[in-house]
Structure 1
Amino acid sequence: MSRRCTLATCQLNQWVLDWDGNRDRIVQAIIEAKSAGARLILTPELCIPGYGLLDHWLEDDVYTHSWDIVAEIMANPDCQDIIIDLGLPIQHRGRSFNARVITLNGEVLAVRPKLDLCNDGNYREMRYFTPWLRGKVQDYNLPPVIQQLKRKQIRCRIGDVVFETRDTSFASETCEELWTPKSPHLDYSLEGVEIILNSSGSHHELRKLDTRINLVREATETTGGVYMYSNQRGCDGDRLYYDGCALIAIHGQVLAQGSQFSLRDVEVHTATVSLKRIWASRTSRSRGMQGNDPTVREFERVRVDFNVCHSSQLSGSKYSPTPPRAPRYHVPEEEIALGPACWLWDYLRRSKQGGYLVPLSGGIDSCATAAIVFSMCCLVIQEVQAGNAVVIADAERLYGDHIDNSITPQQFCNKIFTTVFMGMKEQSSKETRERAADLAKAIGSHHVNTNIDPMFNALSEVVTSVLDFTPKFKTSGGSWSENLALQNFQSRSRMVLAYGLAQLIPSSRGSAGNLLVLGSANVDECLRGYLTKYDCSSADINPIGGISKTDLKRFIAWAEIHFNLPILHSFLTAVPTAELEPITESYVQSDEADMGFTYDELSTLGRLRKTMKLGMVGMFEELLEDWSGHMKPRQIYAKVADFMKFYAINRHKMTTMTPGLYLESYTPDDNRFDLRPFLYPVMFPFERRKIENMLRQMEEGEVSRN
C-alpha cells in the first residue's frame, strides 16, 4: 500500500465581520483543494469572523454568527468528501475559546480549542479567550443551527484530541503553539500522529518570515511527519498585514509555499506526500523510548471513517510525491515595497474611497510613501493582466472606466493618487520642489504644486493681533519658542490644506468620493517625537509608520532600480530637512542636527527600549559595550539621557498618531503596541543618579590606573 495523500492548505484575505465574503472565500478554497485531489484542507486561524475583531470578541453575536457560517459550509454540496479544519470562536460552559472545528460530510468531528494564547506584542487573546488545558476532553453541546442540519448531530467532543482516519492520523495546533518551547506537536508526534495542522493569524514584520519557516522545518525535522501551516493574508481591518506563506513540509523540507504578498483573495496550495516514508524518520530507539515514557500523555482519539490517502491504483500514477523546494524569502527592501502596498490596496478597496493623497515634500519619507503607492499600482495592473476578476472590479470602480491590458501603472496611478507640494517662498528650496514634481511625473501621479504663504501669513497676523506681539524665526533674532511656533504654523496649515484638497480634488476632476490622506512619519521620528502634533503626520493612515529611516533609505535605493525610477537617487543624496525655517546663505535646517541623533542611533535606542525591554540604566550599560569604539562613556550617557528626555516630553504625541502599518519591533504606537504612560518625570532623576555614580566609579578607576 503506497499511502500517498494530497493535502491542502490555504491563505485567505479575510475581513472582520465580512460574514458572506469570508464564507465565500473559504468555500472557493475548498473547491480548489478538492479539484487538486485533496481530502483534507486547513484554513487560517479564526477565518470565519476574521482574526482582528478586538473587543467585538466580547459580543455574543460573533459566536452565533460564526456557527451560522459553519452550518452553511457544512451543508454546501461543494464542501463534502473532504475533511475541513475551520477557525472560529466558541462558547463552552460559560467561557469563550479560540477554536478549531473539524468537519466532514455535514458532521462536526470534534472541537479543538487553542492551548497557548498569544498575549504580547500586538496580541491580546487573553482579554477575550480562555486557554484550554492540555489533555482535557469533554462533551460539547452543538448549537441549534448545527443540530438542525441533516445529520441532527447534538454533541461532539471538545479538547486536546487526536483524529484517526482509516489510514492515517492528524492533530491540530494553533499559531502561538508552534512558537512555544513545549509545542503540542512534540507529544502528538511521540504518540504516532503523522500530520500536524497549524492554523495561524501571523502578521508581517520585517525579517520575520525566516524565523517562522525555520520553526516549521525544525518541527518536522525533529519529530518526522508532515506539518501543514495556513495563514491569513491581507489587511483585515487593523494596523497589521497578515502575510500568508502557507506551507506544507515533511522531514525538514518544504514541499509547498504560498506567496507572502499578493492581491489574490484566495490561494490554495497542495502537496502529495508519501506517509510510508515517515516510518524511516521515526525508527530511532531513543525516540521509541521517549514515546514509551509514562509521562507522555495518551490522547483521546476521535475515529473518522474516511480515507485521506488515495487508492493504490491512483497513487502510483496520478499522484506522485511532491518534490522538495527551496523556501522563498524576500529581502527587506522587497518586503517594504510589497507588504504596505498590499495593505494599502485592501484599505482603499474596502473603505470604498476614491484614492490617496500625500503631501510630497521632496524628502525621503514622503518619497517612500509615494513609491509604495506606485508599487500598489504596479501590483494592481499585474493582477488585471492576469485576469483577476476581483481586482479588475475594484480597479474599474476606482478608475471610473473599463480597464484592459493596455493600461500602465502610471495611468492607473494618475487616476487614484494625488501628490501635493505645499511650499513656502522663503523656506522651500528650488531643488525640493523640482524633486517632488519629477517624482510625480515618473510615477504618473496627479500633482499639485502650490504655496501656503497666504495661510501662514493669515495665521501669523491673527496671532500677532491677539497677542500684540510679532513672533520671529531664530534667523531673524527670534527666541526658541517663537521659532518653533512659526514652524508649527506651517506644518499645521499643510494638514488643513491636505484634507481640503483630499475632499475636493475628485470633484474638480469629475470623479466621485474622497481621497484618503496618507501620513509619512517614520518610526524613528515618532519615537523621538520629531514631528508636529496635528501636522502632516496627522492623516487617515500611515504606510511607513512602522519602518525605520535606515530601512526606508535601503528601500528607495532598491526601488530606483526595480521600479526604473532614476529620480529616486536624488532623494537619497539630499540632506534630510523639514524646510520649516528660512534658508539663508549660512543656514539650512537639518533633521539630524535638530534631533541631536542620527537615524541609525535612534533605531538602536528604539530596539533597546522596546525589543530588549531595557530602561534608561540598562540602555546605558548595553551601549557602553556596543558604542565604545566610537563614543566615550559620558557621550553615551548624554545620548541616552537626551533620548529618554525627548521620548518623555513627546510621548503624548503617540496617543494621537495616525494609524500606521506595524512592521518594526520597536514601533512606538501608543494605541496598540507600545502600552506605556504618556506623562513621565521628564529628567528621570533616579536613573541619572545611578548612571552618574557608575561614570564616577569608571573615571576614578581610570585615574588610578594612570
Structure 2
Amino acid sequence: MYNGYVKVCAATPKIKVADPRYNANQIMELVKKNSEAGAKIIVFPELCLTGYTCSDLFLQDILLEGALRQLEYIAKETKDRDVLVFVGLPFMKEGKLYNVAAGLANGKILGLVPKSYIPNYSEFYEARHFTKGRKKIEYVNINGQEGIPFSTNILFRCTNQKDLLIGVDICEDLWVPVPPSCQHVLKGATVIVNLSASDETTGKDMYRRELVRNHSAKLICGYLYADAGEGESSTDLVFGAHNIIAENGTVLAEAERFQNETVISELDLERLVNERRRMSTFPAAEEMEQEYVYADFYYKGLEETVLTRFVDKAPFVPGSKSDRDRRCREILTIQALGLKKRLEHTNAKTVVVGISGGLDSTLALLVIAKAFDLLKLERKNIIAVTMPCFGTTDRTYQNAVNLTLKLGATLKEIPISEEVTMHLDSIGHDMKTHDVTYENAQARIRTLVLMNMANLYNGLVIGTGDLSELALGWATYNGDHMSMYGVNASVPKTLVKYLVLYYAETVVDEELSKLLLDILDTPVSPELLPPKEGAISQRTEDIVGPYELHDFFLYYVMRFGYRPSKIFVLASYAFGGTYDKNVIYKWLTTFYKRFFSQQYKRSCLPDGPKVGSVAVSPRGDLRMPSDAVAEVWLEDLRKLEDKYGVGF
C-alpha cells in the first residue's frame, strides 16, 4: 500500500454445488492469482464453499464438516500470502445453523460474521435453514484453533495500516432499511465487504448497482460486493456474478454479468478518511450499546500500490459530452441566478464589465446577458468596456467589440495608454522597464475606470476572474482582483473553456458561434506587454504553468486535503505521456508557493456564486490565514527528488 491505497478484489469462483473441496481449490486458484497481482483484500460470494443453492443439503452434517475442513485449508494457505480473504460457508453453533462470512489472514481464521437479516420471501427461503446472527460477542473453536470471535459486531483491523478497518455485510444485509454496515462505519470502518448470492431478474442489476454505489456514498466508505455466479444450481434461479467495487459514490470496477468475472481496483483510504474529517455531520467513532471486537491482522509488505483505477486528468470536467453539457447548462444557470438576485437586491438596472476578448470576460458577458434576460431587462444596459493599452492585439480587440455588439450590449471604448503613461511618469517609473509595476498599473487603471463608470451609470461592476487565477493569485490586487460581484469566482479555467464551448454549440446565431470558437482558440494572456509582430507576446501558461495541471492540483488540495507527494503520484498517472515527472514537479512546487503567498488576495474577495465542490471564498470554503507558510508542504515535495529523480 502506498499513499493510502489498498488494492482490493471481488471474485466469483465457478463452483460445484455441495462440493467443498472442489470449491476451495477454485477459491485458492483465484487467491493465488489475485494476491500475486497485488490484491490485499479478496472477497468471495456468500456460502461459496458449499454453494448458496444447496437447499436441504444444508441439514447434512457431512456437508457442514467438509466446509469447515476446507475453511481451515484456505486459512493455512494465507500464511505465506500477504492477503486478507473473506469466504462464505454454513456454520453450526449450539445446534443452530448460521450463514457466515469468515475472515482469513496470516494463516488463521480471524473471525466469523453471521448474516443479520435472513430473507424468507419470493424465491428466498433461508429461514428454513439459517438462524439470524446476533451482536453478542461469543467465541468458537474450529479444528484446534481456539478463541475465534463469532458476532455480527466484528471489525477486521489491520495493525500496520491505520486507516484500514473492515466491516461485513452478507447479501440481504445491504437491502434492508438500516444495514449493519451503517453501524460498522459509525464504529470507524472504512471498508465494507459484502458476500452475496443475488439472483438475476430483469432490471435487478441496475437497482443493485445503484444500491451499492449510493450506500458507499452515504457511508463514505469503500464497498466490495462479491456475487454468486455460474456453478450455482439453476433449478429455479440464475446468478450473474455481478461483482462491484465502489468508493464514496463512484463505481471503480464492475464485472460483466454471467462471466464469473473478477474485478480488481484500489481503494483510496486517505480520501475516505479526509472526506469524513471534512464533513462535520459524519459522526466520530463512538461507544455503542453493543460493543465490538477487533480481529487483528497485518501485512508483511507495504510496497507501493500500482494503480489500475482511472485517474481523471480533468476532475472538474465530466468525461461524457451529455454529462458535460448538463453540467455547463447548470453552472450557467447558477451564475446567472446569483447575479439576478444581486441586481434585484441593489435595484441596479445597469452593469459595467471589462471586456478583453479573452475567455473569462467572454463567459462573464454571456452570464450577464442571461441574467438580464431572466430579469427582462434590456441588454443595452450592459455596459461592456474595452480598454486597449500597450499589449492589446487586433484579434482580441475585434473579438471584444464584435461579441459585445452580437449580444446587444452597449460598447464603450476607452483607451488607457496615455493615462497609464502619465501615471507611471508621475510615480517616477521608466516606461522602458516592463516590470510588475508596468503591468499592474494597467490593471489598476482599468479597474478605476470600471468603478467610476459604474457610479456614472448607477450600476455594478461585474468581476471576470476565475477560480484558477484566484488559487494562483494571478490577479492584480485591487485591479482585476476587485469588483462588486464576481460571477466566475468558483469556475476553474478548464471548465471556463467548456462553458463557452457549450454556449457556442447551442446558440442559434451562427456568427456568434464562430466568434466564440475563435475566442476559445486564442492563447490565454493578460496582454500587459507589447505584442510581437501584432501577436500576443505574453502567454499566461508559460509563466505560471499549464492550467490543466493547476486545476488538477487545486482539486486534490482543496477537495481531499492530499499531501503534495500523493498529488504528484496521481498527476504522474493522469498526465503520463503528456508531461514528464520533472515538469509536474516544477509546476506543483509553483502551485504551493503561489497558493500560500497569495492568500491575502482571497481573504478579501468580492461576493460571487459557488457553483461546484471547490471554491476559495473566505466566507465559506477556504478560511486560511494570509501569513501561513508553505514549508511543510514544500518539504514533502523535496522528498520526491531522490525517489523519482526530479528537481530544478
Instruction: With the length of structure 2 as denominator, give the TM-score of the two structures.
Output: 0.48
**What is the TM-score normalised by the length of structure 1?**
0.44
Which structure is larger by alpha-carbon Rg, 1 or 2?
2
